[in-house]
Homo-oligomer: A and B are copies of this chain.
């Protein structure tokens, strides 16, 4: 196979703040794997928390042994070898996983959802994320998100009550809350969640630090709405360990190395009786559309990453009032915005 890649700088509509920090733009790497005249598109949106950057992704791609991808259909052995070749580098691995899936779908002439035995009929809606900000900006963001029936609010800091008050001044919509490990104390977490239940919040994502699974289990015994793991649910083998502490998992392609591992995580979460959500990073429509192909299997969707940018170079999945419209073209079904 022939490999090329391009670095894109995605400009954010609003500087994006969560419990850990803030940024005005994000860089991603788009890869193109070509064989038999077919190009498979993939994307790496590297996450600093997990030691990745555009530079580490490019280093990973430069070191890639393309002879190991003689037959792009052989996903199992290609992706295992890739995963074992270096630790970490989940987003870089995801770029290759996505490009191979896109290539196979195009080669076979089927959209990914069809290749997986799924149907696009189930009208799940994506939530739209409101990052941490000043109350007046929060209100403005909520108004801008009018088209979306469900909002996801980033909390986990000192100003949780201020933020929620601003949101509730602007809307009565169903809300989901992502604390991004922000509540370090289990008693504080129980207090915040009990309050948020009364505010009509549907579930809480990652209330406590990933390292404090016992604390999360303690919290779960004392609250009524579901707790969804994010920072605790990176890879496949994390999933069974979360039984008892969480009610569901949030899968992010850029953390789990791609679609094949994501599918394994969905299957395992179901075996464990857990809900499944898909999330995203700031990504182009390549990564977002890849995740969207899984949504017929899922309970909750948070695929707003490309909509938070002003200059997504690609287009694929569409959102109609938040409702996901999956592409019907072969593979991922994405193309350069033209």
Which A residues have a C-beta under 8 Å from some C-beta of B? 71, 73-77, 104, 108, 110, 114-119, 121, 236-237, 239-240, 243, 260, 263-265, 267-268, 270-273, 296-297
Of the A-B pairs whose beta carbons lie under 8 Å apart in the complex, a sample of 27, sorted by A's number, is: A73-B110, A73-B117, A74-B118, A74-B119, A75-B117, A76-B116, A76-B117, A76-B118, A76-B119, A76-B296, A77-B121, A108-B108, A108-B110, A117-B260, A236-B267, A236-B270, A236-B271, A237-B273, A239-B271, A240-B240, A240-B268, A240-B271, A240-B272, A263-B267, A264-B271, A267-B268, A268-B271
Q: Specify which chain B residues have a CB less than 8 angstroms from the CB of A271 in the assembled complex.
A: 236-237, 239-240, 264-265, 268
Measured CA separation A77–B270 after assembly (Å): 15
Question: Knowing A108-B108, A237-B273, A240-B240 touch, does A114 contact B73 (C-beta < 8 A)?
Answer: yes
Measured CA separation A258–B260 after assembly (Å): 20
Shortest distance from the beta carbon of A151 to any chain B beta carbon, whole Å: 29
Give the 6 A-B residue pairs with the shortest CB-CB distance, closest first: A75-B117, A268-B271, A264-B267, A267-B267, A268-B268, A236-B271
Contact assessment for A117 and B267 in the assembled complex, using a CB-CB cutoff below 8 Å: no
Q: Specify which chain B residues have a CB less than 8 angstroms from the CB of A240 in the assembled complex.
A: 240, 243, 268, 271-272
Q: Work out how many copies of this chain go into the complex.
A: 2
Measured CA separation A184–B108 after assembly (Å): 52
Chain B residue at smallest Cβ distance from A264 = B267
Chain B residue at smallest Cβ distance from A273 = B237
Measured CA separation A282–B114 after assembly (Å): 33
Q: Specify which chain B residues have a CB less than 8 angstroms from the CB of A108 in the assembled complex.
A: 108, 110
Q: Specify which chain B residues have a CB less than 8 angstroms from the CB of A76 in the assembled complex.
A: 116-119, 296-297
Measured CA separation A104–B118 after assembly (Å): 13
Shortest distance from the beta carbon of A75 to any chain B beta carbon, whole Å: 3
Contact assessment for A74 and B260 in the assembled complex, using a CB-CB cutoff below 8 Å: no
Q: Specify which chain B residues have a CB less than 8 angstroms from the CB of A116 in the assembled complex.
A: 76
Chain B residue at smallest Cβ distance from A72 = B117
Measured CA separation A110–B71 after assembly (Å): 14
Q: Specify which chain B residues have a CB less than 8 angstroms from the CB of A104 in the assembled complex.
A: 117
Shortest distance from the beta carbon of A80 to any chain B beta carbon, whole Å: 10
Measured CA separation A273–B110 after assembly (Å): 33
Measured CA separation A297–B296 after assembly (Å): 25
Q: Specify which chain B residues have a CB less than 8 angstroms from the CB of A117 in the assembled complex.
A: 73-76, 104, 260
Shortest distance from the beta carbon of A255 to any chain B beta carbon, whole Å: 15
**10 additional contacts (CB under 8 A) given A239-B271, A264-B270:** A71-B119, A74-B117, A76-B116, A76-B117, A76-B118, A77-B121, A117-B260, A236-B270, A267-B267, A268-B268
Q: Specify which chain B residues have a CB less than 8 angstroms from the CB of A268 in the assembled complex.
A: 240, 267-268, 271-272
Chain B residue at smallest Cβ distance from A296 = B76
Measured CA separation A221–B5 after assembly (Å): 52
Measured CA separation A110–B105 after assembly (Å): 12
Q: Specify which chain B residues have a CB less than 8 angstroms from the CB of A74 in the assembled complex.
A: 117-119
Measured CA separation A278–B146 after assembly (Å): 52
Chain B residue at smallest Cβ distance from A235 = B271
Measured CA separation A74–B122 after assembly (Å): 12
Measured CA separation A229–B39 after assembly (Å): 44
Shortest distance from the beta carbon of A102 to any chain B beta carbon, whole Å: 14
Shortest distance from the beta carbon of A100 to any chain B beta carbon, whole Å: 9
